[in-house]
Structure 1
Amino acid sequence: MTTNVPVRTYDVPRVEAQRHSLIVLVIAQVLSGVGLAAGVTVGALLAQDMLGSTGLAGLPSAVGTAGSALAAVAVGRVSQARGRRPGLALGYLVGAVGSGGVIVAAVAGAPVLLFLSLFLYGAGTATNLQARYAGADLAAPARRAGAVSTVLVATTLGGVAGPNLAAPTGSLAAVLGVPYLAGPFLLAGVAYALAALVLAVWLRPDPLLLARVLEAGPAATPHAQPDDAGSRTRPPVARRRPGVPVGALVMVLTQVVMVAIMTMTPVHMHDSGSGAAASGLVIAIHIGAMYLPSPLTGRLVDRHGPLAVAAASGLVLLAAGTLAAVAPDDSVAAYAVALALLGLGWNLGLVTGTAIITDAVPLATRARTQGWVDVSIAIAGAVGGMASGLVVAVAGFPLLAVGGGVLALAIVPVVVIARRR
């Protein structure tokens, strides 16, 4: 005689839809990772070449992250009103348009058009981050961080491939009569457009809209939901997570430090005599470290709670900044390790903050709140990107790296205060 575990009918579409949503989101994230990484690799170098100034080399990152701030609001509002599918698809489509504008600006030698296009290109970055929330919409409470990490880790493949395609796409661009440094944006435009197409066609049912329907059902009991495997959820103590301000602050601090150091490392390596292939390799390793540890990070957050992982992110970022500051100018390996730590610290902070925000906000207002939180993250990135070039021009790259690491330590007192509360 076989005993079957009873499964409530409203749990079946949740589990199946969650699995389908994750598959579609993973495909889109792989594509968007290519678009995201391609621009990161050469954006600062392209601006430096067009403007002839190292002090303004951080401006592209600042403009792009400013664009991502506006895009975060737009994607959040569209998602709130119409669902994740149209919101995310629209964001990637705008990123593709921005990529095309960068190419036109490089050909025409028009700095104003370059920065306007980079502003639009930033929508791809914002959308790439917003997609992590879509992964958590239908996830059981005890597996939300794991679902977020699945979406994030999918960016790794495209993120690692993108920088390493900088040289081949540069050569292709030269054949087409486009400046060498604008080549990666050819790849970015195609990748973002394909990501938008995948989401628009296949992200059905919409995870946020379905989650609302299921929550409104008569049998909905959020604190007693089974997880995807049908096992019991964690005890109520697992739900005692900090609120929106704590999650937002953790992500803001990790973002500003990561963007500042990441933006100026290729410029510093270029000025020290390293070629595009070397800086591309370092950025590829960095982006891999940003996303590849996500499954482990998600498990740690789900099992031990977010605060301990948040504190670890501050310590890892301090180590990254210190190593980058003392690395010999000609040591590609040292910069690779430093930026790997930088990516890991960012990952720990992002997964932690995302889990906190998702648990703290109800479905009725979740997408809008998440959009505004990502605005603060984007503004932090804009500040980090803009300030990075100025700091390097005035005081040098080592001071930027150490200062960023010290700033990341501010996460530790935030964790201590949150634990006491």
Structure 2
Amino acid sequence: MSVVALTAAQQAAVQRRTVLVLSLGQVLGGIAFGATVSLGALLAADISGNDALSGLATASVTLGAALCAIPLARLAARVGRRRALTLGNLFALVGIAVVILAASLRVFPLLLVGILMIGAGNAGNLQSRFAATDLAAAQHRGRDLSIVVWATTIGGVAGPLLLGPGELVGAAIGMPPQTGSYAFSFVAQCAALVLYLVALRPDPLLAAQRLAKEAVAATGAAMADRPVIARYAIFAVAGSHVVMASVMAMTPVHLAHMAHGAHGMAPTPADVSALVGITIALHVGGMYALSPLFGILADRWGRLRVVLLGQVLLGGALAFAVFANDREWGVMVALILLGLGWSAATVAGAALLTESSAPEVRTRRQGRSDSLMSLSAAAGAVLAGVVLSNFQYAGLGIAASVIVLAIVALSPLGRAKR
């Protein structure tokens, strides 16, 4: 579709429609993400027979997102967000099918390939938050970005809570154990693909590129680029994501060990799935439910202050992980705070990256940010499995706190000079 010039009123109308479409897509895409987070570690531990390898599941999700973030960003810069997002949906659909096949055959490497493909699809979900800023007014950039992030709450919370019903549906149609909820994920991804193809018109990125060229032609002045601030924003987002992903990846395994130790007899798989599902649902709710609040705060207080607020929340989460990890409520509080800290840092950091980058380099930096965020989290998830096996859950919390301290210490780099 060709991109035509937009008036200010038309731009605002297109932006509202874009945010709505992206939000609906995030609801649908979040279902697959929530299910994969909950089931991936358990499936990996069950099929491999080794808890230390369970972190490879989350690592595969993040690795898939890392590998596809930059190519999808480059594709978006050339042909628009719509085609890039639909390609991400296709990756996720293939991944879901491969995971179900791997669980049926009990082939661990094939399982990781399927989870990696789902992660590649998640790269599209991550790109959606940047798509919300393409046509956003500067004073509402954090708010619009955070609305799209918030929309993932519905799908992200529903994904883990569908574990129980998913097992019933899966058993009824002959799916392998612990994969039933992927049937819901597959349907949701199909719906998201159709939604983007049909409704994401005009393409927000192509329209924004046209407006930027017209502004330069009219004024002769291009937007200033602030690479130091942009690099700090990328580091803050990636570091916060590593903390969240590494602790979250090992929580299902830790809860399973707790459940076995707390009962006189071995708990049933349904009991473990319910405990894990509720805890991860609370965590995913923390990740997304209050993101509009953090977006509004980022617009009013400033991006850097909200990034640092995220570090305070992450620090609180790690304190509970260290000192209350032997209680179910303590782990739940830790995961809720972990989600809230991630939300504040991610929303504010993404807004900081966008506004500190000139239009001609913005999409490329966004892709690099997503790639680094996912790649570093993949490494963190693998190391988290080793740390959990050797130093338990408290040791994992202590190790993650080093990253939080580094983000705080380097925060002067993210402050704009007056």
Q: Would the TM-score normalized by the shorter structure come out above 0.5?
A: yes
C-alpha distance in 2, partners of 1:305/1:223?
A: 28
**Is 1:376 the counterpart of 2:366 in the alignment?**
no
Q: Structure 1 residue 117: deviation in Å?
A: 1.0
1:164-200 CA distance string (max 9 Å, x none) = 0011112222222222212222222222222121111
Identity of aligned residues (%): 38
Aligned AA (2:351): A
Deviates more, 1:312-321 or 1:145-154: 312-321
C-alpha distance in 2, partners of 1:221/1:281?
A: 55
C-alpha distance in 2, partners of 1:403/1:72?
A: 27
Match runs of 1:172-321 below 5 Å: 172-217=169-214, 243-273=229-259, 275-321=272-318
Q: Structure 1 residue 402: deviation in Å?
A: 2.5
Whether contact under 8 Å (2:304, 2:349) holds in the other structure is: no
* Cα pair distance change 1:282/1:247, threshold 3 Å: same
- For residue 331 of structure 2, the aligned residue among 332, 335, 342 is 335
Secondary structure at the aligned position of 1:354 is classed as helix
- For residue 136 of structure 1, the aligned residue among 124, 133, 137 is 133
Which residue number corresponds to residue 355 of structure 2? 359
1:219-242 CA distance string (max 9 Å, x none) = 987999xxxxxxxxxxx9xx9896
Secondary structure at the aligned position of 1:138 is classed as coil
* Paired positions, count: 401
* Cα pair distance change 1:383/1:221, threshold 3 Å: farther
Aligned AA (2:353): I
**Is 1:105 the counterpart of 2:91 in the alignment?**
no
Deviates more, 1:211-220 or 1:89-98: 211-220
C-alpha distance in 2, partners of 1:138/1:374?
A: 20
Secondary structure at the aligned position of 1:396 is classed as helix
Structure 2 gaps, min length 5: 260-270
**Is 1:90 the counterpart of 2:87 in the alignment?**
yes
Whether contact under 8 Å (1:70, 1:375) holds in the other structure is: yes
C-alpha distance in 2, partners of 1:149/1:418?
A: 20
1:266-315 CA distance string (max 9 Å, x none) = 11001111621111111011111101111111111111111111112112
Whether contact under 8 Å (1:171, 1:180) holds in the other structure is: no
Whether contact under 8 Å (2:291, 2:347) holds in the other structure is: yes
Which residue number corresponds to residue 410 of structure 2? 414
**Is 1:389 the counterpart of 2:385 in the alignment?**
yes
C-alpha distance in 2, partners of 1:111/1:130?
A: 29
Whether contact under 8 Å (1:314, 1:410) holds in the other structure is: no
C-alpha distance in 2, partners of 1:46/1:282?
A: 17
Whether contact under 8 Å (2:21, 2:199) holds in the other structure is: yes
Aligned AA (2:91): V
Q: Structure 1 residue 114: deviation in Å?
A: 0.8
Aligned AA (2:198): V
The root-mean-square deviation of aligned C-alpha atoms, in Å, is 2.3
Secondary structure at the aligned position of 2:53 is classed as coil
C-alpha distance in 2, partners of 1:420/1:208?
A: 26
C-alpha distance in 2, partners of 1:140/1:160?
A: 30
TM-score normalised by structure 1 residue count? 0.90
Secondary structure at the aligned position of 1:243 is classed as helix
Q: Structure 1 residue 407: deviation in Å?
A: 2.3
C-alpha distance in 2, partners of 1:222/1:264?
A: 53
Whether contact under 8 Å (2:25, 2:195) holds in the other structure is: yes
Which residue number corresponds to residue 4 of structure 1? none
* Cα pair distance change 1:47/1:218, threshold 3 Å: closer
C-alpha distance in 2, partners of 1:248/1:272?
A: 36
